[in-house]
Amino acid sequence: MTSEALSKGYEPADVEARWIAYWQDEKTFTPDPDGPGEPYSIVIPPPNVTGALHMGHALNITIQDILCRYHRQKGRKVLWIPGTDHAGIATQNVVERSLAAEGSSREALGREAFIERVWKWREEYGGKILNQIRRLGASVDWSRERFTMDEGLSKAVREVFVRLYDEGLIYRGDYIINWCPRCHTALADLEVEYAPHIGKLYHIRYPVEGTDQFVTVVTTRPETLLGDTAVAVHPDDERYREFVGKYVILPLVGRRIPIIADAYVEREFGTGCLKVTPAHDMNDFELGRKHGLEAIAVQDEAGRINDNAPEKYRGMDRTVARKAVVEDLKELTLLDDIRDYEHNVGECYRCRTVIEPFVSKQWFVKTKPLALAARAAVEDGRTAILPDQWTKTYYDWLDNIRDWCISRQIWWGHRIPAWTCQACGELIVSRENPTVCPACGGDQLEQDPDVLDTWFSSALWPFSTFGWPDNTKELKTFYPTTVLSTAFDILFFWVARMMMMGLHFMGEVPFKHVYIHALVRDAEGRKMSKSLGNGIDPLAMMERYGTDALRFTLCAFAAMGRDIKLAEERIEGYRHFINKLWNATRFALMHVGEGAPDISPAEAAKAGLCHAMILSRLERLKITVSGAIEGYQFNEAAQELYGFFWREFCDWYLEMAKVDLGGDDETKKGAAKRVLLTVLTETLTLMHPIIPFVTQEIWSKLPGIGEPNLAKVPFPPLRPELISDAAEADMELLRAIVVGVRNIRAELNINPGVRLTALVHTESSAQAASLTENAAMISFLAKLENFQAGPEVVAPKASASAAAGSCALYVPLSGAVDFDVEYLRLSKEEVKTVKELTVVEKKLGNEDFVSRAPAEVVAKEQEKQGALGERLARLRELKDRIKKLMADE
RNA sequence: AGGAGCGUAGCUCAGGGGGAGAGCACUUGCUUGACACGCAAGGGGUCGGGAGUUCAAAUCUCCCCGUUCCUACCA
């Protein structure tokens, strides 16, 4: 009466925004570093500031939120830090596009104005994904939100750069890097993605100096010929042995270049003769360094042929130059052959432009020493990668790591803190912007125009977010973080680099666990992608089915080490569960709307078998759910909660409790109310980490709730003394009888309205006592007007029958029983039982089994043999009886 | 080329040496005192194939078949 009536169905839209605001107002997720409890911390993998929430994010946020909310319940001091990264190239691209639409460009604006413009963009649109994360219910501490371009984090970036430089772990040099001619910047090896392209394989003849002979090289990029500085063959290749040490005259250029021998060359590929262009090919670059070859760059930053090439080609785009070179070679009859050829070509991961390997001055991190430490930390268990199978991948990458190119030729990002003195050429790397050259005292200092790779700042995230390099309270309390949850695709990009930086600067691993979650795919198992258009928009799902339905679905599918194939129907299906929860509450409130008597659950359990049973099951549930979440088995937690709440609590307990709740016995009624409320509140608490909104909403409607903020309510107390095998076993028999009657009703097509009589022949009087005590309940569930149980019960004349456990169940029927149907049903049951019994008997008949299997396994089999034997006997009696009755007719 | 995973009911998947499970779908019957986003009853599987280890294999080992992904890349 006091509690307002709940609407007939759960309507998430009204509810979610309200609780998000409530939690925030209550500062529920802002921990005090000095507060009690063992710290538990997570840094959110910072999404790209230009990004929008996709299913992968939704899954990852849900997982982290489950962990955080659960550990808060367990009394840990939880800090979950949100934020975004500045996504240098992506963000710059976005802003440049909007400038282009206005007919402007970043060059027109100038560096400073452009950066200002990016900040403005970020203010306006950069909060989008964070708002989407907020809508998911993420229990992050918004008061500690971070951005990789923040002042504090920028300070950390500079500190790291300077220290690494001083330690010789950052260096600048002319090296070949991956160049995106569209983005005008260098990319790290990881930022290049390979995709199959159909190209051509050109066979080109190079004349050997001083002879009339040729060597034929094979290439997919004939225009790079202009930069060739050698031809290479395998040292053991008989075909070319005589040429090694000689020279060829480079066609179209006329340069005299050596023929060298190196085992790197594959004899089987093409002609076995390789043109070497150190300035434009990764492998050729290495080869060139090894053999002291000159690297002649023949393209500029936009992919056009430069002045190092013959005049004719200068200024041509690389694709135009290719055609021109091919034509000219044809004319000289030096082009032997052109074949179609499918091969993998590197593309820019941001814009899909074909990458041009390019020699230029760049900054690098010397990764080897850092990688060794990062590997060791996992080897000795300071950090565990879960599931374990990713550990090998992590090792492989670290073992084969190459130096990390960290300079980017863009404007949006952390400017490299390096200056060159215009007077003496001194290179100055400094925390503070220098004003005079320490070498010559000159004041003409020019800062390096490049910025750092975004991942450079992301790598510092687990400590920069806590205020490093300052020794803050947060840093002391919450570093190392407890767990990092992420998808495998950034294991290298990010996880490995955080490990390297965390270990180097903090001396401790950045996280104790790395949980690699599943990849969310579409119903056909394809990766969700914009280009395929097969993505399921999490926000649309949240609107349609409620955030809890989406969260529960993701949780239920989050089995470790396996990808998720997601279809919208799954989410729709789990919405039904949310609704079930809602309606069970509506029912409960009809009876406990004004609260329940203040008796202990233990006392209430004594009031009836059903109460003892559900309380026992509840205790087991607490243990399995805890174990599941702590072991990152989210699917198991969801499944257990689902099964308990729907199958045990709603299907059985609520139905059974109706008898006491509607009866006259005030003691029983009180106990039922107490148990109903206890089980409901405690399961809500257990479910809250997975489905925070609906549980909180229901919580607010329940009577006698002390703490109104469910996110602050501790994990329910454990009451191991309530676990009762006996109660659960007695209930098993009771259920078997109810199901037996229902089964008979269904098979014999008896109207559900008709009340029946059921008689049960039991083996023992103890069994009979338990059943008789619950006669009212059995009658209610099976729709009986009469129920009797005891060892003395004998089969009535005209009745349907079944075996329930080891008891015999009879349902007398006044009308004609269809004996044929009855007989068939029992026979089927008999066949099944015989089959099971045979398996058991065969085992027990095997001497090796009895002597070698563990005693408890043997005992279990013997027990099973007994039960099955009894059941079989019962079935056969029932069959015999029917046979007799049939004969009598 | 190297590495990892997966193959269990029609579908999506748990499980992981001693009873083949769940959800959805399906069949049948239901205005049963919260719920048709529901209730009740039911059908359905040589756990990809083969060999081995074991008293015992869906589970461990090896081989094969199919499938997905990752890393590297030969010009």
Using the CA of A274, give the nucleotide whose C1' is nearest: B75
Using the CA of A651, give the nucleotide whose C1' is nearest: B39
Scanning A452-496, the segments in alpha helix (DSSP H) are 454-458, 461-464, 473-478
Residue A415 pLDDT greater than 90, yes or no: yes
* Strand B neighbours among A 94-133, CB < 7 A: none
* Strand B neighbours among A 276-295, CB < 7 A: 281-283
Q: What is the mean pLDDT of residues A129-141?
A: 95
The two structure tokens encoding residue A524: 């056909």
What pLDDT score was predicted for residue A1?
35
A883 CA to B27 C1', in Å?
A: 30
- By three-state DSSP, how is residue A34 classified? coil
Q: Give the CA dihedral A142, A145, A151, A152, nearest 10 degrees.
A: 100
Residue A266 pLDDT greater than 60, yes or no: yes
- Give me the residue spans of the domains in chain A: 180-358, 560-723, 727-817, 820-888
Q: Which residues of A carry a binding-site annotation for ATP? A: 530
A752 CA to B29 C1', in Å?
A: 9
Does the nearest atom of strand B lie within 7 Å of A422's Cβ?
no
In the block, tokens 């992968």 appear at: A56
Which positions ≥6 away from A583 have C-beta within 8 Å?
Answer: A9
Residue nearest to nucleotide B71 (CA to C1'): A397
Does the nearest atom of strand B lie within 7 Å of A888's Cβ?
no
* Strand B neighbours among A 48-87, CB < 7 A: none
Residue A781: CB atoms within 10 Å: 21
The two structure tokens encoding residue A630: 């702590």
Pairing of strands A256-261, A335-348: unpaired
What confidence category does residue A829 fall into, taking pLDDT thresholds of 50, 70 and 90? confident
- Determine the Cα–Cα distance for residues A722 and A613; give it in Å rounded to an integer: 9
Does the nearest atom of strand B lie within 7 Å of A197's Cβ?
no
Ranked by mean pLDDT, which of A377-391, A555-569, A803-817 comes out on top?
Answer: A377-391
A514 CA to B50 C1', in Å?
A: 39
- Determine the Cα–Cα distance for residues A161 and A431; give it in Å rounded to an integer: 9
What pLDDT score was predicted for residue A817?
66
A416 CA to B2 C1', in Å?
A: 38
Using the CA of A273, give the nucleotide whose C1' is nearest: B75
What confidence category does residue A214 fall into, taking pLDDT thresholds of 50, 70 and 90? confident
What pLDDT score was predicted for residue A850?
92
In the block, tokens 């089959």 appear at: A835
What pLDDT score was predicted for residue A164?
96
Residue A180 burial (CB < 10 Å; 0-12/13-18/19+)? Answer: buried
Residues in a beta bridge with A173: A362
Contact yes or no for A586/A638 (Cβ under 8 A): no
**In this predicted model, what pLDDT tens digit does every residue of A607-637 receive, in sequence order?**
999 999 999 999 999 999 999 999 999 999 9
Using the CA of A402, give the nucleotide whose C1' is nearest: B72
What confidence category does residue A653 fall into, taking pLDDT thresholds of 50, 70 and 90? very high
- Nearest of A631, A689, A584 to residue A66 by alpha carbon: A689
Residues in a beta bridge with A273: A233
Chain B positions with an atom below 7 A of a protein C-beta are 3-6, 12-15, 18-20, 22-25, 28-30, 32-43, 54-56, 68-75
**In this predicted model, what pLDDT tens digit does every residue of A557-583 receive, in sequence order?**
888 877 888 888 889 999 999 999 999
- Nearest of A169, A179, A789, A246 to residue A501 by alpha carbon: A169
Q: What is the mean pLDDT of residues A119-126?
A: 92
What pLDDT score was predicted for residue A88?
86
Residue type, A639: Q
What pLDDT score was predicted for residue A531?
64
Instruction: Name the helix (H) or strand (E) containing A337.
Output: strand A335-348
* Strand B neighbours among A 248-267, CB < 7 A: 264-267
A380 CA to B63 C1', in Å?
A: 35
**Architecture in CATH for domain A560-723:** Orthogonal Bundle (1.10)
- Nearest of A17, A47, A127, A13 to residue A542 by alpha carbon: A13
- By three-state DSSP, how is residue A438 classified? coil
Q: A213 vs A276, A325, A457, A844, CA distance in Å?
A: 19, 21, 56, 86
Ranked by mean pLDDT, which of A132-136, A532-536, A747-751, A806-810 comes out on top?
Answer: A132-136
Q: Which residues of A carry a binding-site annotation? A: 530
DSSP state of A189: G
Using the CA of A557, give the nucleotide whose C1' is nearest: B13
Residue A360: CB atoms within 10 Å: 17
Per DSSP, the residues of A872-885 read HHHHHHHHHHHHHH
Counting residues of chain A whose pLDDT is more than 90, the rounded percentage is 53
* Strand B neighbours among A 384-403, CB < 7 A: 389, 392-393, 396-397, 400
Does the nearest atom of strand B lie within 7 Å of A579's Cβ?
yes
Residue A241 pLDDT greater than 80, yes or no: yes
* Strand B neighbours among A 456-515, CB < 7 A: 489, 492
- Determine the Cα–Cα distance for residues A596 and A593; give it in Å rounded to an integer: 8
- Determine the Cα–Cα distance for residues A815 and A825; give it in Å rounded to an integer: 19
| Reported ipTM | 0.94
What confidence category does residue A532 fall into, taking pLDDT thresholds of 50, 70 and 90? low
Does the nearest atom of strand B lie within 7 Å of A636's Cβ?
yes
Does the nearest atom of strand B lie within 7 Å of A832's Cβ?
no
Instruction: Name the helix (H) or strand (E) containing A640.
Output: helix A634-642
The two structure tokens encoding residue A369: 């020493």
Q: What is the mean pLDDT of residues A146-168?
A: 95
Q: Give the CA dihedral A34, A39, A45, A51, nearest 10 degrees.
A: -50
What pLDDT score was predicted for residue A3?
42
- Determine the Cα–Cα distance for residues A466 and A444; give it in Å rounded to an integer: 37
What confidence category does residue A270 fall into, taking pLDDT thresholds of 50, 70 and 90? confident
- Determine the Cα–Cα distance for residues A532 and A518; give it in Å rounded to an integer: 20
- Nearest of A365, A370, A375 to residue A404 by alpha carbon: A365
- Determine the Cα–Cα distance for residues A129 and A527; give it in Å rounded to an integer: 21
Pairing of strands A799-804, A784-790: unpaired
Residue A722 pLDDT greater than 90, yes or no: yes
Does the nearest atom of strand B lie within 7 Å of A199's Cβ?
no
**Max CA distance (Å), chain A:** 123
What pLDDT score was predicted for residue A499?
95
What confidence category does residue A790 fall into, taking pLDDT thresholds of 50, 70 and 90? very high
- Nearest of A418, A409, A403, A633 to residue A518 by alpha carbon: A633
Higher pLDDT, A565 or A427: A427
Residue A814 pLDDT greater than 80, yes or no: no
- Determine the Cα–Cα distance for residues A547 and A528; give it in Å rounded to an integer: 20
Using the CA of A11, give the nucleotide whose C1' is nearest: B37
Instruction: Name the helix (H) or strand (E) containing A802.
Output: strand A799-804
DSSP state of A208: B
Model confidence, pTM:
0.92
**In this predicted model, what pLDDT tens digit does every residue of A667-706 receive, in sequence order?**
999 999 999 999 999 999 999 999 999 999 999 999 988 8
How many helices and strands (H and E) does chain A possess? 30, 29
What pLDDT score was predicted for residue A28?
95
Residues in chain A: 889
Specify whether domain A180-358 bears CATH 3.90.740.10. yes
DSSP state of A47: P
What confidence category does residue A150 fall into, taking pLDDT thresholds of 50, 70 and 90? very high
Contact yes or no for A158/A98 (Cβ under 8 A): no
A354 CA to B2 C1', in Å?
A: 26
A840 CA to B57 C1', in Å?
A: 17
Ranked by mean pLDDT, which of A63-77, A202-216, A309-323, A379-393 comes out on top?
Answer: A63-77
Q: A101 vs A106, A112, A232, CA distance in Å?
A: 12, 20, 49
- By three-state DSSP, how is residue A275 classified? strand
The two structure tokens encoding residue A133: 């994360």
- Determine the Cα–Cα distance for residues A494 and A462; give it in Å rounded to an integer: 11
- Nearest of A121, A56, A157 to residue A528 by alpha carbon: A56
Mean of pLDDT over chain A: 90
What pLDDT score was predicted for residue A816?
57
Does the nearest atom of strand B lie within 7 Å of A643's Cβ?
yes
A633 CA to B16 C1', in Å?
A: 15
Distance in angstroms between the alpha carbons of the first and the last residue of chain A: 60
